[in-house]
Structure 1
Amino acid sequence: MAVLGVIADDFTGATDIAGMLVKGGMRTLQTIGVPARSVVPDDVDAIVVALKTRSIAARDAVAQSLQALRALQDAGCVRFFFKYCSTFDSTDQGNIGPVGDALLEALKARQAIYCPAFPENGRTIFFGHLFVGDLLLSDTHMRHHPLTPMTDSSLVRVLARQTKHKVGLVPLEEVQAGSASVRDALDKLAADGVRHVVVDAVADPDLGIIGEAVGDDALVTGGSGVALGLPAAYRRRGLLAHKSGVDALPAIAGASAVLAGSCSAATLGQIADFQGAHLALDADAICRGEPVGEKALAWARGKLGNGPILLSASDKPEAVKALQAKYGVEQSSQAIEKTMAALARGLVEAGVGRLVVAGGETSGAVVSALGVTALRIGPEIDPGVPWTASVGKRPLLLALKSGNFGAPDFFTKAFARL
């Protein structure tokens, strides 16, 4: 029976935390949307529900998150985690604060921590300020994000604008003093009516300390990094048994392909580093309604079987802005996602059994198009990105990568990992 239920606000973020839990020794299932009880096997320790609630209306995000919570409770989970992006992607209206409020209320919990730190990927929190590498969040490209522009690096201030409840901070000094110090600080804040608490972390050992401190809490929130400390904390409490081979996946044959829709700097670098056959799609032609996907599939069919291939709709930020100005943000995004979804279906029909997808929105479109409802989580490729195997009659190996994640050689390394 599952111990931990995770509610993730996007697809790649769900895969990210699922991979962290597997690294910690928890056999993990990721579901696409709210799961039916029948799709959850009895041998899993954690269930990660992938929603698409990061940028929708706050009331809708709350409703979907509560529906996921009820499903996870029905599956037997006794601890819960709300997963959002390690850059705290949100607006002054939400959705992190409103969902956190709703989950606390539903669980009748007094408090939750907020810790999107992931030091291995350059996300750290110091005095409540989020850093990406050596830059404050507000000084990075996230300042210009089209949906969730992050112009304030103070998570305490950002969160305070999203909730009516008090927001506090456990500073790094308290964290590095040990888990008992963190627990004491949290209890003191709770006694003062502080329901939301940002917790500093600048290195992986800090995450282990935090995990132990909140091992009894009904609700934890954060990025995937803080989940690293939870499996050990649950074992010490007798909630989780030791298991081996938790990242084992079935052997699946087939050709190899990459679909890249993210326009992040990391993904653009990975495209440039790719050594195989590559076709760059004309995004303007896609938005004009031309049969770009059909031509791309014809190209792909002639290349499959001779090594991994790459089809990309990624471009530099200025080109994306120009496209959005010409066709509209929603129309251009939907046109590209629709094309990538059709490409995924066509590639699988042509014999692709191993597929890497770059970009959260692209990943969501692809798994929906392929009818994927659940994923077994396998070995890690790069921090935050594991291989997965779809559950069903025709299993596929899928790696769903957040745009910002992965080393420059990620696409090549992914298939070598298999």
Structure 2
Amino acid sequence: MIGVIADDVTGGTDVAVAFRRSGLATVILFGQPEDSTVLPYHDAVVIALKTRTLPADDAVAESLRAASWLKNHGANQLYFKYCSTFDSKPEGNIGPVADALADLQDAALTVVVPASPEHRRTQYMGNLFVGDQPLAESPMRHHPLTPMTDSNVVRLLAGQTERPIKLLSQKTVRAGAHEIRERLDDLAARGIRYAVADAISTADLQAIGEACRNDVLVTGAAGLAGGLGRALAGTTGNHPSHYSDPIGAGRSVALAGSCSARTREQVAYMREHEPAFFLDAVTTPDARQLAAAALDWFASLPETARPLIYSTLEPDDLRRSQEVLGTERSARILEGATGLIARGLIDRGVRRIVTAGGETSGAVVAALGIRGGTIGAEIAPGVPWIYTTGPVPIALLLKSGNFGSPEMLVLAVQADAHTEEASLA
């Protein structure tokens, strides 16, 4: 069994669908599971936490707690999942969490593979690219919580751990799994603890996954999960040919909080096609008042509406908002309002919720008390429907800020039991 610790909610769904797509039966759990949690048949279990921007000590403690639960429930290999843009503050939390998990697993050496080519995240000579742009020149340099101002993953990781790091070059990766394994073993024998691996194609990730199939700890984005999953699947996995939808057609709402470039495009497109309500924390700096206004607005709409409720801002507007409210207070108000809105929408009969942004998705999952679910069809690569269990089943689409086409939010809220059988983006 593979046990996965993801540092945010959308990352958890992304890695879960990568393992499921490769043929492994996969379960996703949100937050720390109870000891009594009963799991259906599985090859992989993903625990989606919200540790990316916590203080490092808290992130380590939460990650170790999840890892212990996974080991106690049969995991013999752990996978630490972080974003394909290596989202973190300069001091962590990727390095501190990886250090703690390596100690827990007694791992001599651990690979670090943020590349995810299907999402246009590639790494060459240690430098991470977003599409054609170096990471530090991409829109990620303006991220409100984890601005990425260096493209070199070796340097980024070196600022977060004192353990020795070496680059696993593209030349070695292209030589194949056997050469990769020999190089990793040589580095481990020399006392190196982390190997930051170049990867620019799916074939590269498959080779790395094959080379690391027996490692007790692996770290990376969802791209490596696909490569590792394919290496491990063999006859174990049962690749699903059909995704059933227990929710069916129903009223849908999109909640957008990410300020990424792609989400801004998606919000702009959706505002042209569906009614939209803006959560203005500067004008109304109170979560309950914001939520009440949004829900009153929703109640005034016709049943046929598939609306958007958003707090997404352009970079200049975001800076002004943070100057007035402060970064942490602004995030607290908007996440609190989003959670209250999600609960209010469910009370009003909404059964399909689409979210854009990791913090937004985490706020919705927490507010609704969702503990886990089954993975359904993908509406875009790495963005699956999740069908929750419980007295009131819900269909959730938890989208990372940078994922999907400009039309994706509109397509998602218009999806029903028939349209979601196919990829829509």
2:410 match: secondary structure: helix
1:181 corresponds to which residue? 179
From the superposition, tell whether residues 83 and 304 of structure 1 become closer, same or farther in structure 2 (CA, over 3 Å): farther
1:138 match: secondary structure: helix
Task: Pick from 193, 196, 199 the counterpart of residue 195 of structure 1.
Answer: 193
CA displacement 1:336-395 (0-9 Å, x = unmatched)? 111111111111111111110111111111111111111211111111211101121211
Distance in structure 1 (CA, Å) of the matches to 2:365 and 2:249: 19
Give 1:9's aligned amino acid. D
Give 1:187's aligned amino acid. D
1:355 match: secondary structure: strand
Shift of 1:252: 4.2
Task: Pick from 249, 254, 274 the counterpart of residue 250 of structure 2.
Answer: 254
User: Matched residues, percent identical?
Assistant: 45
Distance in structure 1 (CA, Å) of the matches to 2:288 and 2:64: 41
2:266 corresponds to which residue? 270
Task: Pick from 334, 357, 375 the counterpart of residue 336 of structure 1.
Answer: 334
Shift of 1:91: 2.8
CA displacement 1:318-338 (0-9 Å, x = unmatched)? 111111111111111111111
Give 1:112's aligned amino acid. T
CA displacement 1:75-128 (0-9 Å, x = unmatched)? 111211001111111233211111111111111111110011111211100011
Distance in structure 2 (CA, Å) of the matches to 1:162 and 1:380: 34
What is the correspondence of 1:320-399 to structure 2 with a 5 Å cutoff? 320-399=318-397
Distance in structure 1 (CA, Å) of the matches to 2:5 and 2:99: 14
Distance in structure 2 (CA, Å) of the matches to 1:6 and 1:304: 42
Distance in structure 2 (CA, Å) of the matches to 1:350 and 1:343: 10
Tell me, yes or no, if the aligned pair for 1:286 and 1:339 is still in contact at 8 Å: no
Tell me, yes or no, if the aligned pair for 2:22 and 2:239 is still in contact at 8 Å: no
From the superposition, tell whether residues 10 and 176 of structure 1 become closer, same or farther in structure 2 (CA, over 3 Å): same
Task: Pick from 128, 131, 140 the counterpart of residue 130 of structure 1.
Answer: 128
Give 1:255's aligned amino acid. R
Shift of 1:288: 5.5
1:332 match: secondary structure: helix
Tell me, yes or no, if the aligned pair for 2:287 and 2:337 is still in contact at 8 Å: no
Shift of 1:257: 0.8
Distance in structure 2 (CA, Å) of the matches to 1:176 and 1:246: 34
CA displacement 1:208-233 (0-9 Å, x = unmatched)? 11111111111110111111112221
Deviates more, 1:300-309 or 1:16-25: 300-309
Task: Pick from 33, 37, 40 the counterpart of residue 39 of structure 1.
Answer: 37
Distance in structure 1 (CA, Å) of the matches to 2:38 and 2:146: 33
2:282 match: secondary structure: helix
Task: Pick from 137, 143, 146 the counterpart of residue 145 of structure 1.
Answer: 143
1:220 match: secondary structure: strand
Distance in structure 1 (CA, Å) of the matches to 2:216 and 2:242: 24
Give 1:167's aligned amino acid. I
Shift of 1:402: 0.9
Distance in structure 2 (CA, Å) of the matches to 1:388 and 1:195: 36
1:119 corresponds to which residue? 117
Give 2:10's aligned amino acid. T
Deviates more, 1:249-258 or 1:262-271: 249-258
Distance in structure 2 (CA, Å) of the matches to 1:256 and 1:53: 28
Distance in structure 2 (CA, Å) of the matches to 1:187 and 1:152: 29
Distance in structure 2 (CA, Å) of the matches to 1:158 and 1:289: 35
Shift of 1:41: 1.9
TM superposition score normalised by structure 2: 0.93
Task: Pick from 291, 302, 313 the counterpart of residue 315 of structure 1.
Answer: 313
CA displacement 1:215-270 (0-9 Å, x = unmatched)? 1111110111111112221134x7x3434358544234531111111111111111
1:187 match: secondary structure: helix
What is the correspondence of 1:223-242 to structure 2 with a 5 Å cutoff? 223-236=221-234, 240-242=236-238
1:58 corresponds to which residue? 56
Tell me, yes or no, if the aligned pair for 1:65 and 1:99 is still in contact at 8 Å: yes
From the superposition, tell whether residues 60 and 175 of structure 1 become closer, same or farther in structure 2 (CA, over 3 Å): same
Distance in structure 1 (CA, Å) of the matches to 2:56 and 2:38: 28
Distance in structure 1 (CA, Å) of the matches to 2:407 and 2:82: 26
Tell me, yes or no, if the aligned pair for 1:286 and 1:336 is still in contact at 8 Å: no
From the superposition, tell whether residues 318 and 198 of structure 1 become closer, same or farther in structure 2 (CA, over 3 Å): same
**Residue 222 (structure 1) aligned with residue 251 (structure 2):** no
Distance in structure 2 (CA, Å) of the matches to 1:244 and 1:148: 36
Deviates more, 1:39-48 or 1:77-86: 39-48
Aligned-pair RMSD on alpha carbons?
Answer: 1.7
Tell me, yes or no, if the aligned pair for 1:39 and 1:374 is still in contact at 8 Å: no
From the superposition, tell whether residues 327 and 251 of structure 1 become closer, same or farther in structure 2 (CA, over 3 Å): closer
Distance in structure 1 (CA, Å) of the matches to 2:144 and 2:394: 33
Distance in structure 2 (CA, Å) of the matches to 1:88 and 1:399: 22
Distance in structure 1 (CA, Å) of the matches to 2:182 and 2:320: 52
Distance in structure 1 (CA, Å) of the matches to 2:375 and 2:47: 13
CA displacement 1:62-84 (0-9 Å, x = unmatched)? 11111000100111112110011
**Structure 2: any 5+ residue segments left out of the alignment?**
421-425
What is the correspondence of 1:104-115 to structure 2 with a 5 Å cutoff? 104-115=102-113
Distance in structure 2 (CA, Å) of the matches to 1:359 and 1:175: 32
